[in-house]
Amino acid sequence: MATVAAQHEAAVYARAGGSNADDFIAGSWQRCLSDYGLDPSQIELDVVSRSKLSEHRDELGEVVSIARAEMENLAAQISGSGYALLLTDAHGLILYNRVEQALRSSFRAAGLWDGADWSELRQGTNGIGTCIVEHRPVTVHCADHFAARHTDLSCSAAPIRNPQGQLLAVLDASSVQCEGTRAGQTHTMALVSMSARLIEKCVFLNANREHLVLRFHSRPEFVSLIHDGMMAVGADGHIVAADDSAACQLGLETRQSVVGLDIAEVFDVDADMLHERSTDGSHSVWPMHEVQRGRRYFASVRASGEAGRRVTVARNDDSALRVSAARRHQARGFADLCGNDPRMAYNVRCARRVVDRQVQIMLRGETGTGKELFARAIHDVSRRAASPFVAVNCAAIPESLIESELFGYKAGAFTGARREGMRGKILQSSGGTLFLDEIGDMPTELQTRLLRVLEEREVVPLGSETPITVDLNVVSATHADLKDMVAAGRFREDLYYRLNGITLTLPPVRERVDRQALLGSILALEHDGDVEARVDEEALAALTRYSWPGNIRQMRNVLRTALALCEDYIIRAADLPPEIVEGPMSAEASGHGDDAAIAGAGDTGPGPNPLDSAERSAILTALDDNRWNITNTATRLDMSRNTLYRKMKKHGIPLSGRG
C-alpha cells in the first residue's frame, strides 16, 4: 500500500509540474501543491457538526428539496450500478446523500457522507471540489485524485447554478470501486449533467414565479424541455433573468447580456402580448422572430404566479388540510401571499402596476397582517430584486439610534462609534429597497433629513460633510393613521405625500376570505418533516372561524406550537389553545362568508351559511373590480347605493378597501 501511495505521490509531482491548459487534472494538482500546500499522503477527512450541517441546508432552502426530488429520479435510473448520489453546497459540503442501503458503510468509510467537506482546498483534486473551481461538469477518476486515500473513487460532478449564473450547489455521482477508464464514465457524466440542468430549470422557474417565463427553441417539439431557452420577463416587459440555454440559442456569450433589455428588443413580442398569451389558457406553442437577424423560434409562456407552488392544500375525506412532506419554503412573492381574497388580490394588482414606476408604496394594516412580507414581495418582483432588501423598524430602534442606523456615520463621529465607521441602512439599500416599518414612529427631525435624502438622492453620514449619491426606493408601512398624525403636527405633510404615492391596506385576518389558504401557506412554512402534515376537520373549523386578533403572526405561532405538540403530524382540536377551540366566532365565520365557501361544493356539514358567503364574496369582487367606487359597484350589482351600504355593513366590509 505504501508503495502504491508513494507511486501516486511521484505521479502527482511529475504531472503537476508539466501542467498545461488542456490538462485540468494537472492544473488542479498544481493548485493543491502550490496554492493550498497539500501533501497527497496527508489528507484528512473534515466533517462539520450536525447543527452546522442543518444551517448549511437551511441556507440553500428549497434548492435542497428540488434536488432531492430529481435525485430520486436519477437514483431509479442508475440503481444497482454501485453509484451514490451526493448534493453539496457551493463550497463542497455534502448536504444530502442517496446511497443504496447495502453500500452505505463503504461510502461512509470513504467520507462520502453528509457533513463532509469535499472542497479542493480540503480534499485535493476530486469531482466535487474540482467542479466548483472549474465551474463546469468534470469527471475525476481513480488516480486522477490528488490524495492517495481517494484513488479508489470515481466521481462525476456537475454545477447547479442560480438564475444569475452563480454557483448554488453541485450534484455528484460517485463510486467507491475504481473500475474502467475515465472515458468509461461519459455515460454517468451525461446523466448527472442532465439532472443538474433539470434542477437548474426548476430553480429558475421557482425563483421567477412572480414573472412571466418565456421558453423558446428553434424546434417546436423542444419547447418546455431541458434544452429550451428560458427568460424571465417582468410586468413591464424587461428581461429579469435568462438561462445559459437562452444565451446559447441566441448565440450570445453570456446570459447577462440580455438582462435589463426590453423583451421587444430581442424578439418581435411585447409584454402585453406575452400577458395575453399567458392567460389564454391554451399553453400553446407559437412562432416568433428574433429582432436582430430575424431567426425564427417557437415559444410558450408561463403566467406569473403560476406553478412553482409545491405546497398542496386539498380537502379530502380524512383530513381537511394537508401539506406535502419536506416542502418547507419561505413565503415569498405575491403568489404565496394572497390566496383568493379580493382585497389582497387588489393590493397585488396595484403593486404590480406601480412597481418600477417610481411610485412610492405605503402599506397600512394592523400589526401582523404581513406588511413586511408584502414589502419583500414588492421588492422581489421589481427590477431591483437582485439588490438588497433592507428593513428598518422605526418603532424597535431607540430614537437616539435611528439616525446613525439610517444615515450611517464616519469613523470616530461620536463616542462609542465603531472605529471603521458604519454604512447606514439607506446606503446599504442603495439600488434595492428600503423598507421603513412603523414610519409614524420616526422622530420629526429625522423626517426632515429623510425627506432631504429622498429629494436630493444623496446621503451625508453623521460626522461627514461629503454627500454620497444613493439610488433609493422606499416602501413604508404603518399601523397608525398618518393623516391624523399630519393633522396633529406629528408627521411632516410633505414627507407623507412623498412616501405615499399609493396606500395599500392589508386586511386583518378576521376580514380575509382566504383563511384556509393562509393556514396552508403558514403550515408549509412551519412544517419541516419528511412526512405529510395535516389539520383535521374539527381543528380546521376552529382555526378558520376564530377572529385572530393577532393576525398572521398569531396564526403562525399557534400552528408552530400545534405542530410541535401533535401526534403523527396531524393537528387536532386538542392541539390548539382552548380560546381557539371554544372562542367567539369572527363576524365572517359566524355565517357571513368564509373559506368554506371557496373550498368547493363538496364542503358539507356545519359551517357558515353558503348563501351569505356567496353574497359577501360577490360584493367584495364587484367592489374590487370597481376600485371600491360605491356608485359603480351598486350599478354593477343592480342595487341601490343604500342597499349596498347596508349589505356591506352586514358582512363587515369596510367602506374603503384602499385605506
Ligand X SMILES: Nc1ncnc2c1ncn2[C@@H]1O[C@H](COP(=O)(O)OP(=O)(O)OP(=O)(O)O)[C@@H](O)[C@H]1O
Pair 22, 54: CB distance under 8 Å: no
The enclosing H or E element of 408 equals: strand 408-409
* # binding residues, ligand X (CB under 6 A): 20
In DSSP terms, which residues pair with 298 in a beta bridge? 217, 287
Q: Minimum distance from CB of 170 to ligand X (Å)?
A: 31
For residue 390, the minimal CB distance to ligand X (Å) is 15
Give yes or no for residue 556 binding ligand X (CB under 6 A). Answer: yes
β-sheet with 154-161: strand ranges across: 94-98, 83-89, 167-175, 154-161, 138-141
Residue sitting closest to ligand X (CB): 370
Nearer to ligand X, 369 or 404 (CB): 369
Q: What is the largest CA-CA distance in the chain?
A: 97
Q: How many CB atoms lie within 10 A of CB 289?
A: 13
**Nearest-CA neighbor of 364 among 161, 41, 657, 164?**
657
Question: How near is the Cβ of 412 to ligand X at its closest, in Å?
Answer: 34
Q: Map the footprint of ligand X across residues 63-102, applying CB under 6 A.
A: none
Nearest-approach distance from CB 51 to ligand X, in angstroms: 23
Min dist. Cβ of residue 563 to ligand X (A): 14
Give the three-state DSSP class for 409: strand
Stretch in the footprint of ligand X (CB under 6 A) among 345-353, 415-423, 519-527, 534-542: 519-527
Does position 552 interact with ligand X (CB under 6 A)? The reply is yes
Backbone angles phi, psi at 226, to 5 degrees: -60, -30
The 3 state secondary structure assigned to 484-500 is HHHHCCCCCHHHHHHHC
Q: Which of 479, 498, 560, 650 binds ligand X (CB under 6 A)?
A: 479
Distance of CA 583 to the CA centre of its chain: 35
C-alpha 500: how far from chain center: 27
Which residue from 343, 371, 492, 592 is in contact with ligand X, where contact means CB under 6 A? 371
Site for ligand X in 521-550 (CB under 6 A): 521-522, 525
Instruction: For residue 533, give the 3-state DSSP assignment.
Output: strand
Position among 252, 271, 373, 460 found at the interface with ligand X (CB under 6 A): 373
CA distance 394 to 400: 11
Strand residues in 460-601 grouped as ranges (E): 468-469, 474-478, 502-505, 533-535, 570-571
- The yes or no reply on residue 337 touching ligand X (CB under 6 A) is yes
Instruction: Give the x-and-dash track for 390-429 against ligand X (CB under 6 A).
Output: ----------------------------------------
What's the closest the beta carbon of residue 431 comes to ligand X, in angstroms? 23
Of the pair 82, 339, the CB lying nearest ligand X is at 339
Taking the least distance from each CB to ligand X, the nearer of 475 and 596 is 475
Note whether 365 binds ligand X by CB under 6 A. yes
Distance CA 146, CA 302 (A): 46
- Minimum Å gap between C-beta 382 and ligand X is 17
514 binds ligand X (CB under 6 A): no
Site for ligand X in 430-449 (CB under 6 A): 437
Which residue, 180 or 529, is less far from ligand X as judged by CB?
A: 529
**Listed residue (589, 518, 585) closest to 558, CA to CA:** 518
Name the β-bridge partners of 85.
Answer: 98, 173
Residue 574, φ and ψ in degrees, nearest 5: -65, -20
* Shortest distance, position 118 Cβ to ligand X, whole Å: 34
Binding site for ligand X (CB under 6 A): 331, 336-337, 365, 367-373, 437, 479, 518, 521-522, 525, 552-553, 556
